[in-house]
Chains A and B, each alone.
Chain A
Amino acid sequence: MADLKRFKEEFVKGIGGENPTFRLVIGMCPPLAISTAVINGFGMGLAATFVLLGSNIMVSLIRNFTPSKVRLPIFIIIISTFVTITDLFTEAFTPDLHKALGIFIPLIVVNCIILARAEAFASKQPLLYSIADGLGMGVGFTLAITLISTIREMLGNGTFLGHAVFGASYEPAIVMILAPGAFLTMGLLIGLMNHLGRKK
């Protein structure tokens, strides 16, 4: 079925070829700032995925009624609504994660991945593909941020999800937890992705 094939394509591109973090290099604030622990990175990824999916669905549903002159304010209202819903739900059901992510949940509003997908994709495409696009981009973002946090938490704190992995003799490389560690990890990973991409 052609539909299913396209659905799959739209989903997969966010994870691989158009990965928002490693390929498009947009929405860099959370992957740099909160990737100090795996649980934070993963939680942030899920929160952003939820917002991305919700906003893509809504934007796509109303795309034929959205006047282009006021489309951006409408997108922003939709996105900020989903962000606030996420904020309230994480506080109610995962208060520890909510506290760990702090200001970065409200800041999903200005994550340009979400507005970019609304503007470039969902506002022009039917619902089904917008869902695939939102999910794919969300999963790609979640994988990227989880990978960065895994590297930083393991090297910088000697733990994975809070469990010690290298034994007591390991002296954590504190720089990995601090800001320079974020840029180092990000730079090396983007370099690696480019290298792998070129080989193909």
Chain B
Amino acid sequence: MREFLRLAGILTLVSIISAWALSSTYNITKPIIDLKRYQKKIEALSQVLPPFDNQPDKEIVKLTTEKGEVIEFYVGRKKGELTGVAFKKNTVGYGGNIALMIGVTPQGKIYGIQVMEQNETPGLGAKISHPNFLQQFTNKDLASTRWEVKKMGGDFDQISAATVSSRAITKGIKEGLNFFQSNKEKILKQG
């Protein structure tokens, strides 16, 4: 019994010290991590939205898709006039989830796209983050475009040997645009 208590005591002591070390590290790094995430979001917003002078990250409209995905729409304005809406959309690629930041003009045309998170194969699918690939979506809207890669009879170039990743992006943007169009009034009115 005494041996048991001694062992348990030592383990407890080690755990307490470890917990203390972890909580201190967490407290030190938490504000830095939050700041970096925030900066990244702001940077992405300024990349995908037409020029704005408000704080789009403060003007948020939250909507839920049929599949239960919650999408936040960030509304950009210049001198009070609405210039565009940005939102984060998830899509499934070759290596798991891909998070896109999509910027649309009020007319429903793509203004800019940024890849926020991805786990695609480095050197192959990971090229979806490259501006050369993402540029081709600029100025496209739902009506005038076939939202597929060329290999599948659509309008967009795929990255060679990364068809799954390329199609995932195309599909993600298309779904995002669809959702934006069908909720346009709600977003623009509230925002």
Contacts and interface: CB of A to CB of B under 8 A. Distances in A.
A156 interface: yes
A26 interface: no
Nearest to B20: A81
B122 to A, nearest CB: 4
B15 A77 contact: yes
A118 B122 CA distance: 33
A-B pairs with lowest CB-CB distance, top 7 = A157-B123, A92-B32, A36-B122, A92-B29, A177-B123, A81-B18, A88-B29
A73 interface: yes
B33 A92 contact: yes
B53 interface: no
B88 to A, nearest CB: 16
A57 B117 CA distance: 36
Given A67-B7, A177-B123, A78 B29 contact: no
Interface of A: 36-37, 40, 62, 65-67, 69-70, 73-74, 77-78, 80-81, 84-85, 88-89, 91-93, 95, 99-100, 102, 153, 156-157, 172, 174, 177-178
Given A36-B122, A88-B33, A91-B33, A78 B25 contact: no
B22 A67 contact: no
A157 B122 CA distance: 9
Interface residues of B, number: 24
Nearest to B7: A70
Given A36-B123, A67-B6, A70-B10, A99 B117 contact: yes
B123 A81 contact: no
